[in-house]
Structure 1
Amino acid sequence: MPDADGGIPVGLATDLDRYLRHLAIERGRSPHTIAAYRRDLSRLLDSLRRAGISDAGTIAPRHLVAFARELREGPAPLAASSVARMLSSVRGFTRFLVDEQRIPVDPAADLIAPKLPDRLPKALTIAQVESLLAATDGDEPGVLRDRALLELLYATGARVSEAVSLNVDDLVGEAGTTDLVRLFGKGSKQRIVPVGSYARAAIDAYLVRSRPVLSVRGRATPALFLGMRGARLSRQNAWLVIRAAAARAQLDVEVSPHSLRHSFATHLLQGGADVRVVQELLGHASVATTQIYTRVTADALRDMYVTAHPRAR
C-alpha cells in the first residue's frame, strides 16, 4: 500500500530504512555514504511505485531492467559511471532482502551494469607536488594548518575524509612524536601509516603555533584539523584548501581531492615499493585495486622509453 500522500509504499520504505540501519550499524558506513545510498535507492523505489510495486516480494528482474534503462535513456540520462554506482546500490539492497528472508530469490542477480572504460588515476609529478606544498608557506594560523593538512595527505595517502576525521589522539608516535598516524577508512577499518619528516615538522608547527589559536574560537573538540571558527574542518573546506593551493601554485593540471592520494601511491611504486605494501598503506581491501597504479607507472616508463630510445618507434 502506498503512503497516504502517494509516496513510496510503506513496506518498501520500511525495507529501505532497515537496510540503511544495517549499513550504518553493522557495516560501519559513514553518514555521507548512507545519504548516498538513500538517494540512489529512493530513486529505485519511486520507479517501483510507478510500476505498481508495493511489496519487495513482487519485484521481478524486469522491473530492475526497466529501472536501469530509465537511468540510461530517461529524460535526464546519467553517465555510465553513475548508472554503475546506482545499480551497485540496488544489488546490495536486494542481497540484503534475500539475507533477511524478505524475498526468496535475488531479482538483481543477473542485472548487468554498463562496462566502464579504464580510468587511470591522475597523479601529480613530484615537482608539481612540491609546488603545491610550497604554495602554503607562511606563519598565519590558517596557512600553518593548510600546510600540515597537505603534507599529511601526501605523506600518508589518506583520503580527504579520513584526514578531516582525525583527532589529535590519532597521532600515535612514540614519546610525543608524530611519526605514525591512525587512519580510519571505509567501514571504520583502521590502519597505522608512517608520517615522513616533512609532514611531521608541518604538523608539529601547526599543533604548537596554530591549533591553540583556532581552538579558542570554538567549543572544545578533539579534532586535529580545525576551521577558522574552531570547529572540525569539513571535507568541503579541505577541498577548498587544496584547490586554493593549486591555484596559487599555478599548476597546469586538474587537481582533485584524490590527487595527493594518487600521487602518494604512484611515487611509492616508482621508487620501488612493493604493491602489497602500498595496498596496506592505502587501506585497499584488494590488491587488484592498488594494481591500477602499477599500470600508471608502466605507462610512464613506456612513454619515457619511446621518447628516449633511438629505435623505439
Structure 2
Amino acid sequence: MAWEIYIQEYENYLKLERSLSENSVEAYVHDVVKLKQFLEISNLDITAQQVQANHLQNFIEYINELGMSAHSQARIISGLKSFYKFMMYEGEIDVDPTALLEAPKLGRKLPDTLDIHEIDKILAAIDHSKAEGMRNRAMLETLYSSGLRVTELISLKISNIHFEIGFLRILGKGNKERLVPIGREALKHINMYREEVRVHLDVKPGHESFLFLNRNGKQLSRQMVFIVIKDLVAKVGLHKTVSPHTFRHSFATHLIEGGADLRAVQEMLGHESITTTEIYTHLDRDYLKQIIKDFHPRS
C-alpha cells in the first residue's frame, strides 16, 4: 500500500479516534511526510512497513544537520512513534521500528550573559552630553542593577521607586507585585536623569507617572530599549546578541556567581518556579569545575 494511503488513514485515526485538534493532526501528519520526503531524496524506494530503525536514525541525523533544534527533533520523533503505534494497531507491522529511537536530550538553553567588563564597556559608550544619553545610562543601570524584564522597565513609575530604602516595587507577570533592590549607582543616575533631563520634557497627559520617557514626553517603548542596546553593542564592537533580557540574565548570573542564594534570586527575578532560576547556575558550575581542574591533586 502506498505511503499516501497510510498517511490518510493515520490522519483519519487522529481525528476520529484520538479526537485531536486540527493543528495537532496537521503536525503529526507533517512528521510522517518529512520522513517520506527524506527517504525519497535518499533514493530509498521503500514502503512504510519496510522502514527500519537505521532509516529512522539516518533521518534524525539529517534533520539535526539541517540545524533543527532538539525540541523540534523530539517532537518529530514523538510524531513518528505515534504513526508506527498506529501501524501496529492496524496490524500492518509486527515490529515497531521506533521502539529504540531516542529523542535528543532537551537541556535548558543557557542564556547569553555579559561579563562585568562588557557591561562597563557598553555603559562607557553612552554619550552623556545628550539628553537621551543620560536617560539611557539610567535605564541600563536599572536593568542591570535590578534584573527587570523590559516591560517592567518601561512601566516603572516614579512613585514605585523607594529611594530611601533602595527598593523598587515592580508589577510583574500575572500582576504579581514584588520588591526588588536597586543599587546606589543606578539610583544616582536615575536622579541625574530626573533632575537634568526629565524635568525639562513636555510630559504628555497620561504619561506623568512613568520614569522613562521618549523625547516627546511619552512612555518609552520596548522597541526603543532594544534599539538603544543594539546601537551601543555595535558601537563597542561586541560580537554577541545582546538584548534587554541579556542584562537580566547577567544580573542573575553574577549574583549566583558571587554566592547568592537561589531562592533570593528567584524572588528578585519574579520567577514562579525555582527551576527557572536554576538555569543561571551554569557559570557557577563551570567555576567549580575549574577549581577542581586547577587545584585537585587527582584532576
TM over 0.5: yes
- Give the TM-score of the pair, scaled to structure 2: 0.65
Q: Distance in 1 between matches of 2:274 and 2:136?
A: 31
- Greater Cα radius of gyration, structure 1 or 2: 2
Q: How many residues align?
A: 226
The Cα shift of 1:149 comes to 0.5
Indicate yes or no: 2:248 matched with 1:261: yes
In 1: Cα distance, 2:168 partner to 2:30 partner:
41
Does 2:110 correspond to 1:120? yes
**Take 1:237 and 1:262, find their aligned partners in 2: how far apart are those partners?**
20
The residue correspondences of 1:141-160 to structure 2 (distance < 5 A) are 141-160=131-150
RMSD: 3.3
Contact 1:157 1:281 in 2 (8 A): yes
Flag structure 1 segments of 5+ consecutive residues without an equivalent.
Answer: 1-50, 53-57, 85-112
SS in 1 for 2:117: helix
**2:25 pairs with one of 66, 86, 93:** 66
Give yes or no for contact 2:257–2:283 (8 Å, CA) kept in 1.
no
**Cα separation, 1, equivalents of 2:143 and 2:30:** 35
Query: How far apart in 2 are the matches of 1:132 and 1:242?
Result: 8
In the alignment, which residue of structure 1 is the partner of 2:191? 204
Letter in 2 for 1:139: S
Q: Is the 8 A contact 1:265 1:278 kept in 2?
A: yes
Q: Distance in 2 between matches of 1:197 and 1:220?
A: 29
1:66/1:291 Cα in 2 relative to 1: closer, same or farther (>3 Å)?
Answer: same
Paired residues for 1:55-204 under 5 Å:
60-61=19-20, 63=22, 65-69=24-28, 116-174=106-164, 179-204=166-191
Per the TM alignment, residue 64 of structure 1 is displaced from its structure 2 partner at its CA by 5.2
**Contact residue 113 and residue 249 of structure 2 kept, 8 A:** yes
What's the CA shift string for 1:23-43, capped at 9, x where partnerless?
Answer: xxxxxxxxxxxxxxxxxxxxx
1:227 aligns with 2:210: no
CA contact 2:143–2:244 (8 Å) conserved in 1: no
Show the counterpart of 1:278: 265
Give the Å deviation of 1:296.
3.0
Q: Is the 8 A contact 2:178 2:270 kept in 1?
A: yes
* Equivalent AA in structure 1 for residue 112 of structure 2: K
The CA distance in 1 between the partners of 2:160 and 2:72, in whole Å, is 34
CA distance in structure 2 between the aligned counterparts of 1:146 and 1:290, rounded to whole angstroms: 27
Alignment-mate amino acid for residue 281 of structure 1: M
Give the percent of matched residue pairs that are identical in Structure 1 and Structure 2: 38
Cα separation, partners in 2 of 1:64 and 1:83, compared to 1, 3 Å: farther
**TM-score computed with the length of structure 1 as normaliser:** 0.63
2:202 is aligned to 216
Please give the alpha-carbon distance, in whole angstroms, between the structure 2 residues aligned to 1:74 and 1:150: 48
